[in-house]
Amino acid sequence: MARRVGICAVAQTTYERDKWHQRFQGMALDVVEALRQQVDIKFSRHRPEVQGIDMTISVSDDVFDARTISNNAMTDVLGAHFGCEEKVAQEGIQALYYGLAAIQSGHNDMVLVLGHCKESQAASRNMVTHVAFDPFFTRPVGLDFCAAAGLQAQAYAAKSGITDQQLAKIVARSRKHAAQNPFTPGLEELTAEAVMASDMLADPIRSLHAWPVSDGAVGMVLAAEEIAVKICDKPIWITGVGNSIDHFFLGDRDLASNRALKEAAARTYKRAGITDPKTAFDVIEISDQYAYQLPMWMEGLGIVDEGKAGQWIDGNGPDTLHVNMSGGMLAGNPLILGGLVRAAEAALQLRGEAGNNQVENAKTALAHGVMGPAGQFHSVITLERN
Amino acid sequence: MKKNRNVGIIGVGQSAYSSHREEVNQPEMIHEAVAEALAHAGMTIDDIGCIVHGNMELFEMVHQPDLWHSLGMGSVGKETLRVTTGGTTGATICCTADYLVASGMHDVVLAVGFEKLQEGHTTGGITNMADPLWARQLQTGALTGMTAAAVIEEFGEERAKKASMKYRIIMDKHAMKNKKAHRRLGLEFDQADDLMVNSPALVGELRMIHMCSQSDGACAVIFASEEKARQFRKNPAWIKDHITVHREESFGCFGDEPFVLSHRYAAEKLFARNGIKNPRKEIDMFEMYDPSSWWGLDWLREFLLFNGDEHLKMVENDEITIDGDFPINPSGGVTASNPIGATALVRVAEAALQIMGEAGEHQVPKTVNQALASGFGGTLWTVLFLLTREAP
């Protein structure tokens, strides 16, 4: 049995529309400094007797940063001079999957995780996701992740009967929680009526159904159990991880099937020893890039019965199960960081540091990330505190 | 450091390397390598638990290419992880695969590195790594004449130029034995004097003939737990240890003098913690990420922890040839084939093949008990692997 791994520190910047005043290195440095306030991070590699960071995992994206080897600019900021820095170029929650493996392998005892992204740097984030499509068949059609999500939302609405009213309710609820979240400033509260009056983006997705364009950075310190208990009072243990990827071409998939998410969840629950996901979690953080995804992913996770998510929304299910108390991704995180921020928010809940959105006595949590057209790739992680 | 469990390399696959693989698209080219690795390991894609993918997105301008490449990698329905670190990417994903298996999360992991450099502009892409405000105007891709100038300054023009050309011609002679290599020029030693004068100059004394190629190609390597490795293969190449060392983005910004190359720092640490006192004697062969024959020549000194001209003598005395005492890059190395996201993975793959004794025509004619493989990238970053024939 491999050793336990704990999240010992969590920090993030605010997520805002355009941090024109800060380069991504500056955002990252703010997070590193905040992490250092929580745990004593040392970078001294010349003195092996000093317990310090063995490995840094950054998260960024060459296309969003418009820089080849976008992590090249991270070495200085993350204290990786003469040390090890590796970049997860996937949904950010995968940095925790990787960090867990890196520590459980025995090679590393302490890992610093730091993700950054400035969606504002691209004229449109759709230009970035457009080039995720292959240049021969699907790129010439003009697809991007937003258009692909529209196709999936259509398929899911047809299968589940989810309505425009229910989607509007999800957005209004997200904004209510976002207003209480210090990391998502500047988002006004919205009524369901206002959401339903917003422009159509990719039918049935309305402009207010989409996560706001945002810039920000998030970081954590992971450590093996024997160190975690020494350096912090309330380590949050990673109990399960799992991910899966579906077919690339949309036509090769059943877009409403949740295939990859079901596989990712099953792997996570198996590793965590969870038999009943419906009752296993006190807090759930889902990457809802678009409003339709909150009910759809909840079904995929096996927490809400398939086809029942509409009723679940009507019955205030998200409040009962404490889903996205942070506001969720609908309150704005950069695309590649959504899942990592979900894990950060879940960890804050378990530490009892979620402020006005705090769920009383939360002990277990699930966090979820998604990447690719119409949810091609999903990654799930479960957390608990002592 | 105490490793949770042993990890062995049990399968290697490579596409053919070329300047233009126009007959295949990216997933198809990757599929060539994956299919060969599975066949080499005697397994099917169903035996793979997780697939690790790496390359540099801006070379081909594909966002999160593992999504599209799920077609060629066979990753649909599997766990995946995408990790990139510039030129070192290929070696980094070996670290990733090692962690995933050693941790117990997976028994068998497939690592896939690729690049199709003809689909972009390589030097433009590399220049684009530099800070847009402070350094981009100065960067010339990966082309630099600094090392040539330094070696010439230290050892004199004639000796330095001769050694670097000899290194290059040895690499080409090795590539001639490797059917998959991209550049197989058929150079002879008597061409050295001509080439060192007449090959087009790139920067200072770095000439076209010294520099690595821009290649299309993919490489796939299968890593397995000790139990699984022994089940599929009699002769796995074991991962003894590895180390990753980066340097700062802005050279000298931390003011540490004298300038220590990450290669030397990595080698010192790796050898010390594995009890290697004389690397030149204790290591049987070396697959080095040598982006130019000047760098290959100079870095040999760093990796083997020499301080004088021992590295020049090794080249001058034919010690680095395939049948020499310390063979370097029997595959032909990076000056022969350079699909960047795969290049460092190929180094580990080729070192593993040498340990298995399955490198074919470019197998070194001796038992390889301990092999070294290096990756290079970023702003002088190093990933250094130590592989062994006996399980650690």
CB-based contact B62 A85, cutoff 8 Å: no
Backbone phi, then psi, for B150, in 5-degree steps?
Answer: -70, -40
Q: Which residue of B has its CA nearest to A261?
A: B77
**Residue A47 pLDDT > 70:** no
Report the share of chain A in percent with pLDDT over 70: 98
Separation CA B288–CA B301 (nearest Å): 12
Chain A contact for B366, CB < 8 A? no
Chain B CB contacts of A377 below 8 Å: 67, 80
Q: State the pLDDT confidence band at B139, using cuts at 50, 70 and 90.
A: confident
pLDDT the model gives residue A49? 64
pLDDT the model gives residue B114? 97
Chain A contact for B83, CB < 8 A? yes
CB-based contact A75 B378, cutoff 8 Å: yes
Give pLDDT tens digits for A307-317. 999 999 999 99
Chain B CB contacts of A263 below 8 Å: 77
Triad B28, B34, B38: Cα angle to 5°: 145
CB-based contact B96 A55, cutoff 8 Å: no
For residue A66, CA distances in Å to A69, B69, B102, B341 come to 9, 22, 35, 18
For residue B117, CA distances in Å to A165, A369, B199, B297 come to 49, 31, 23, 25
pLDDT the model gives residue B2? 75
CB-based contact B75 A245, cutoff 8 Å: yes
Q: Which residues contact A171 (CB under 8 A, 6 or more apart)?
A: A190, A192, A195, A208, A209, A291, A330
Phi-psi group of A142: left, alpha or beta (phi > 0 → left; psi -120 to 50 → alpha; rest → beta): left
Give the mutation candidate from B223, B249, B259 for the A interface (greatest A CB count, under 10 A).
Answer: B249
Tell me how crowded residue B274 is: count the other CB atoms within 10 A of its CB: 16
- Name the residue type at position A147: A
pLDDT the model gives residue B346? 98
Measure A265 CA to nearest chain B CA, in Å.
11
Name the residue facing A2 among B59, B64, B104 (closest C-beta): B104
pLDDT the model gives residue A51? 74
Q: Which residue of B has its CA nearest to A377?
A: B67
Which tokens go with B102? 């050693």
Burial zone of B23 (CB within 10 Å; 0-12 exposed, 13-18 middle, 19+ buried):
exposed
Measure B128 CA to nearest chain A CA, in Å.
6
Kindly report the three-state secondary structure assignment for every residue of chain B. Answer: CCCCCCEEEEEEEECCCECCCCCCCHHHHHHHHHHHHHHHHCCCHHHCCEEEEECCHHHHCCCCCHHHHHHHHCCCCCEEEEEEECECHHHHHHHHHHHHHHCCCCCEEEEEEEEEHHHCCHHHHHHCCCCCCCCCCCCCCCCCCHHHHHHHHHHCHHHHHHHHHHHHHHHHHHHCCCCCCCCCCCCCHHHHHHHHHHCCEEECCEEHHHECCCCEEEEEEEEEEHHHHHHHCCCCEEEEEEEEEECCCCCCCCCCCCCCCHHHHHHHHHHHHCCCCCHHHHCCEEECCCCEHHHHHHHHHHHCCCCCCHHHHHHHCCCCCCCCCCCECCCCHHHHCCCHHHHHHHHHHHHHHHHHCCCHHHCCCCCCCEEEEEEEECCCEEEEEEEECCCC
**Residue A1 pLDDT > 90:** no
Domains of chain A: 5-123+213-231 (3.40.47.10)
Class of domain B7-122+215-222: alpha beta
Separation CA A367–CA A346 (nearest Å): 7
How far the first Cα of chain A sits from its last, in Å, is 19
Separation CA A107–CA B161 (nearest Å): 41
Separation CA B94–CA A61 (nearest Å): 21
CB-based contact A61 B61, cutoff 8 Å: no
Q: Which residues contact B331 (CB under 8 A, 6 or more apart)?
A: B174, B175, B178, B181, B287, B337, B346, B350, B359, B362
Chain A CB contacts of B80 below 8 Å: 90, 243, 245, 377
Name the residue facing A69 among B61, B100, B378 (closest C-beta): B378
Give pLDDT tens digits for A105-132. 999 999 999 999 999 999 899 999 999 9
Cis? peptide before A182, omega within 30° of 0: no
Give the orientation angle of helix B26-41 with respect to helix B66-73, to 10 degrees: 50
Region A290-316 average pLDDT: 98
Report the share of chain B in percent with pLDDT over 70: 100
Q: Please report the residues numbered 127 through 166 in chain B whose beta carbons come closer than 8 angstroms to any beta carbon of chain A.
A: 128-129, 131-132
Cβ contacts below 8 Å, chain A against chain B, sum to 203
pLDDT the model gives residue B347? 98
CB-based contact A129 B63, cutoff 8 Å: yes
Q: Which residues contact B59 (CB under 8 A, 6 or more apart)?
A: A68, B115, B116, B117, B119, B120, B122, B125, B340, B341
Which residue matches tokens 């049948």? B323
Over its C-alpha atoms, chain B yields an Rg (Å, rounded) of 20
Residue among B207, B220, B15, B81 at smallest CA distance from A94:
B81
**Residue A280 pLDDT > 90:** yes
Region A319-343 average pLDDT: 97
Which residue matches tokens 């939302």? A153
β-strands B285-287, B216-225 pairing: unpaired
Measure A252 CA to nearest chain B CA, in Å.
11
Separation CA B136–CA B218 (nearest Å): 29
CB-based contact B129 A2, cutoff 8 Å: no
CB-based contact B77 A263, cutoff 8 Å: yes
Chain A CB contacts of B82 below 8 Å: 88-90, 94
Measure CA A20 to chain center.
23
Chain A CB contacts of B244 below 8 Å: 55, 83-86
CB-based contact A86 B57, cutoff 8 Å: no
- A77 touches A25 (CB < 8 A): yes
Q: Which residue of B has its CA nearest to A135?
A: B62
Chain A contact for B85, CB < 8 A? yes
Separation CA B74–CA B224 (nearest Å): 18
Chain A contact for B92, CB < 8 A? yes
Give pLDDT tens digits for B224-264. 999 999 999 999 999 999 999 999 988 778 877 788 899 99
Separation CA B101–CA B294 (nearest Å): 37
Q: What's chain A's average pLDDT?
A: 96
Which tokens go with B50? 């997780």
CB-based contact B104 A104, cutoff 8 Å: yes
**Residue B1 pLDDT > 60:** no
Separation CA B120–CA A197 (nearest Å): 44
Give pLDDT tens digits for B72-88. 999 999 999 999 999 99
Q: Please report the residues numbered 94 through 133 in chain B whose beta carbons come closer than 8 angstroms to any beta carbon of chain A.
A: 95-96, 98-105, 125-126, 128-129, 131-132
For residue A364, CA distances in Å to A12, A277, A373, A381, B250 come to 21, 11, 30, 11, 43
CB-based contact A76 B249, cutoff 8 Å: yes
Chain A contact for B379, CB < 8 A? yes
pLDDT the model gives residue A40? 87
Chain A CB contacts of B63 below 8 Å: 61, 63, 128-132
Chain B CB contacts of A135 below 8 Å: 62
Report the share of chain A in percent with pLDDT over 90: 94
Give the orientation angle of helix B293-303 with respect to helix B146-155, to 10 degrees: 60
Kindly report the three-state secondary structure assignment for every residue of chain A. Answer: CCCCEEEEEEEECCCECCCCCCCHHHHHHHHHHHHHHHCCCCCCCCCCCCCCCCEEEEECCHHHHCCCCHHHHHCCCCCCECCCEEEECCCCCHHHHHHHHHHHCCCCCEEEEEEEEEHHHCCCHHHHHHCCCCCCCCCCCCCCHHHHHHHHHHHHHHHHCCCHHHHHHHHHHHHHHHCCCCCCCCCCCCCHHHHHCCCEEECCEEHHHECCCCEEEEEEEEEEHHHHHHHCCCCEEEEEEEEEECCCCHHHCCCCCCHHHHHHHHHHHHHHCCCCHHHHCCEEECCCCECCHHHHHHHHCCCCCCCCHHHHHHCCHHHHCCECCCCCHHHCCCHHHHHHHHHHHHHHHHCCCCHHHCCCCCCEEEEEEEECCCCCEEEEEEEEEC
pLDDT the model gives residue A50? 66
Separation CA B300–CA B382 (nearest Å): 13
